[in-house]
Amino acid sequence: NFFGTGEFSWGVSNGWSLFGGAITDNNYRAATVGAGRDLLVLGALSLDVTQSRADVWNQTLSGRSYRLQYSKNFEQYDSQVTFAGYRF
């Protein structure tokens, strides 16, 4: 059996980042790509897309999901709030 995983992130500029990753084995593969934006005092926002494919019971199943995520850190309270929305 073969299993592998990898990820990357790249700070394109002070405010933008690109990221992604993949996971694979003999019967399953998934890859994700996305982008994030620093909103300064307002927090951060990101959007990513995941595509997956699985071979199960002699058939191939595939799917895609989308995620929109917002996060805000409150240093004075040592707290963070994150909201995420998914579409499968």
Task: Name the domain count of the chain.
Answer: 1
| pTM score | 0.86
* Rounded Cα–Cα distance for residues 73 and 56 (Å): 42
Digit-coded pLDDT (tens) for 20-73: 999 999 999 999 999 999 999 999 999 999 999 999 999 999 999 999 999 999
Domain assignment of residue 40, given as a range = 3-87
The one-letter amino acid code at 46 reads: S
From the CA atom positions of the chain, what is the Rg in Å? 16
* Rounded Cα–Cα distance for residues 10 and 15 (Å): 11
